[in-house]
Amino acid sequence: MPDSSALPDALAQALGAGAVLTGEAIPPRHHSDWSGAAPVRPLALVRPRSTEEVAAVLRLAHAYGVPVVPQGGLTGLAGAAVPHAGGIALSLDRMNAIESVDAAAATLTAQAGATLQAVQEAAAERGLRFGVDLGARGSCQIGGNLATNAGGNGVLQFGMMREQCLGLEVVLADGTVLPMLRPMIKNNTGYDLKQLFIGAEGTLGVITRAVLRLRPAPAAQVTALVALADFDSALALLGRLQQRFAGNVAAFELMWRDFVAASLQWQSLREPFDAPHAFAALIDVTGRDEEALRGAIEELLGEAMEAEQVQDAVIAQSRAQAAMLWKIREATAELPTNMHPPINFDVSLPMAEIGRFAERCRAAFDARWPGHIAVFFGHVGDGNLHISVDGGTVGHDEAGVERIVYDTVAAFQGSVSAEHGIGTHKMPYLGASRTPQELAAMRAIKAALDPKGIMNPGKVLD
Ligand SMILES: Cc1cc2nc3c(=O)[nH]c(=O)nc-3n(C[C@H](O)[C@H](O)[C@H](O)COP(=O)(O)OP(=O)(O)OC[C@H]3O[C@@H](n4cnc5c(N)ncnc54)[C@H](O)[C@@H]3O)c2cc1C
């Protein structure tokens, strides 16, 4: 194996000096991601401009046996994009072109470094919408969204990133390009290889381009914030909404009171209701006519109030009001500045169990750390619950908090990661959601596609 210290020069020869940074020249933001994992300065930061250049980087890294960590927008919350000291951080930020939008076929082709927001905006310009949305939209990249199989606010209506992807171009560990950019919904020609790379967190190859599925933009969308007394009322309301507005319930974000209170305080917002309530659900419903839709939602909420499922409700009368209501939910961006530090979880559970699960976790936290601060919120319509615990209020016992949450997840037969992935943070707990047989199959796939183990080593699988 050649001496890896010669690799930066070999990369600079292949890509040009401007595409390879070393030492102090590597911006610190490339040393870690949003997870707060300890920063690591890589041997080199490489910023290719094309698939051919990505392939050249991987051919060289493969020859030198040097780890490669793909980096997107670095908004990941599992430590998966943190580089290795002796390895390459491969940033996709210069591969950010929206290559084409086919409005008739409702597809969009983009390079992996395009931000989620750029994709959303390109779709909107053609009267279409992209089905995934999340708070980090301005920074996270389509490649990172695919590599983490991101979810977010639209999953209830359109599914996760996996469901938005028709075609993918991937570069394997040895530099082989897999051009799987076929823009068809139906394609039963053996293994669906592209799905292997979606959710693989960069451990099997580098995603360079994608063909994404778009949807018709709804003519109308109405947002409401609804106060609820308990979790079962939330489920009953979701059932009502799904029945009345089948296929048009775009979001059902449930916030426990602790989350709402923290969000209002952190962002200096006014209490949305006359009095605090145990739960608040933020709801988006899409349709054809805004007035008619608002009327239908009002009617449904009135019925739910009569049935004592809903305690109070605010229906946004404008986009600006809707944005204000959404601001309460998007307080997640405030977590790092207001918790010291936040210990984050994104678990999923059988939907009916989420309320009991949250109660059990909270009781265990209370028993061990009286006075601790924790907030509960989630895309409950798809079984996903987020918990953020203020590390400063639990004696920085991250492992203790994790043990409580993941043991409870296992007891409820849930998943330790609904959206954010495994990275390094959840690696010790992967066994709580995967059997030894499943883990062995995952290792066999990894060994087949990346025999030297250079793709994002030490992430997902140990
Ligand atoms: C405020 C905020 C809100 C968020 N809300 C949500 C949410 O609602 N739902 C959700 O799912 N997530 C959410 N996230 C987490 C994060 O935004 C997602 O995981 C996102 O998909 C990561 O994209 P990224 O481009 O930032 O990837 P990065 O953080 O750069 O990388 C994440 C992983 O993907 C790999 N990777 C990146 N690009 C590529 C590529 N081109 N090829 C192969 N591998 C690659 C990296 O190696 C790493 O393993 C949120 C984060 C923040 C900060």
Percent of the chain exceeding pLDDT 90 equals 92
Percent of the chain exceeding pLDDT 70 equals 100
Nearest residue (CA) to ligand 1, atom 8? 152
If one residue of 96, 120, 140 were mutated to test the ligand 1 pocket, choosing by the most ligand atoms within 8 A of its CB, it would be 140
Residues present in the chain in total: 462
pLDDT at residue 347 in the model: 96
pLDDT at residue 115 in the model: 98
Is 462's pLDDT higher than 90? no
Q: Are 40 and 84 in contact (CB under 8 A)?
A: yes
Single-letter amino acid code for the residue at 198: I
Q: Mark 262-286 as b/e (b = at least 16 C-beta within 10 Å).
A: bbbeeeeeeebeeeebbbbbbbbbb
Nearest residue (CA) to ligand 1, atom 23? 144
Tens-digit pLDDT profile for residues 9-63: 999 999 998 999 999 999 999 999 998 899 999 999 999 999 999 999 999 999 9
Atom of ligand 1 nearest to the CA of 151: 11
- Ligand 1: residues within 6 Å at CB? 33-34, 69-77, 80-81, 92, 112, 134-136, 140-141, 143-145, 147-148, 150-152, 201-202, 206-207, 332-333, 419-420, 456, 459
409 CA from centroid of ligand 1 (Å): 23
| Angstrom distance (rounded) from CA 68 to CA 18 | 19
Contacts of 440 by beta carbon, 8 Å cutoff, 6+ apart: none
How many other C-beta atoms can be found within 10 angstroms of the C-beta atom of residue 236? Answer: 17
Helix (H, G, I), strand (E, B) or coil at 165: strand
pLDDT at residue 186 in the model: 87
Q: Are 430 and 42 in contact (CB under 8 A)?
A: no
pLDDT at residue 57 in the model: 98
294 CA from centroid of ligand 1 (Å): 34
| Angstrom distance (rounded) from CA 350 to CA 231 | 13
398 CA from centroid of ligand 1 (Å): 22
Q: Using the 8-state DSSP alphabet, how is residue 348 labeled?
A: E
Average pLDDT of 257-276?
95
Nearest residue (CA) to ligand 1, atom 46? 81
If one residue of 77, 111, 252 were mutated to test the ligand 1 pocket, choosing by the most ligand atoms within 8 A of its CB, it would be 77
pLDDT at residue 335 in the model: 86
Nearest residue (CA) to ligand 1, atom 21? 145
pLDDT at residue 108 in the model: 98
Atom of ligand 1 nearest to the CA of 207: 42
Q: Using the 8-state DSSP alphabet, how is residue 306 labeled?
A: H
Tens-digit pLDDT profile for residues 293-315: 999 999 999 999 999 999 999 99
Average pLDDT of 174-202?
94
pLDDT at residue 336 in the model: 83
How many other C-beta atoms can be found within 10 angstroms of the C-beta atom of residue 333? Answer: 13
pLDDT at residue 138 in the model: 97
pLDDT at residue 183 in the model: 87
How many other C-beta atoms can be found within 10 angstroms of the C-beta atom of residue 453? Answer: 15
Is 1's pLDDT higher than 80? no
If one residue of 69, 91, 134 were mutated to test the ligand 1 pocket, choosing by the most ligand atoms within 8 A of its CB, it would be 134
Atom of ligand 1 nearest to the CA of 208: 41
158 CA from centroid of ligand 1 (Å): 19
Tens-digit pLDDT profile for residues 74-112: 999 999 999 999 999 999 999 999 999 999 999 999 999
Extract the tokens encoding 146.
């695919």
Average pLDDT of 278-298?
96
Average pLDDT of 370-393?
94
145 CA from centroid of ligand 1 (Å): 5
pLDDT at residue 2 in the model: 79
Is 443's pLDDT higher than 80? yes
Q: Using the 8-state DSSP alphabet, how is residue 36 labeled?
A: -
Alpha-helix residue ranges (DSSP H) falling in 126-252:
142-147, 155-158, 161-164, 193-197, 231-244
Nearest residue (CA) to ligand 1, atom 28? 74
Higher-scoring residue by pLDDT: 433, 371: 371
| Angstrom distance (rounded) from CA 387 to CA 254 | 12
Average pLDDT of 349-370?
96
Nearest residue (CA) to ligand 1, atom 11? 150
Is 4's pLDDT higher than 90? no
Extract the tokens encoding 57.
């980087």
134 CA from centroid of ligand 1 (Å): 10
Band (pLDDT 50/70/90 cuts) for residue 329 is very high
Atom of ligand 1 nearest to the CA of 139: 26
| Angstrom distance (rounded) from CA 21 to CA 91 | 11
410 CA from centroid of ligand 1 (Å): 25
Nearest residue (CA) to ligand 1, atom 36? 144
Band (pLDDT 50/70/90 cuts) for residue 461 is very high
| Angstrom distance (rounded) from CA 380 to CA 283 | 11
Atom of ligand 1 nearest to the CA of 69: 47
Is 127's pLDDT higher than 80? yes
pLDDT at residue 132 in the model: 95
Nearest residue (CA) to ligand 1, atom 33? 201
For the CA atoms of 216, 222, 228, 232, the dihedral, rounded to the nearest 10 degrees, stands at -20
248 CA from centroid of ligand 1 (Å): 26
Atom of ligand 1 nearest to the CA of 150: 11
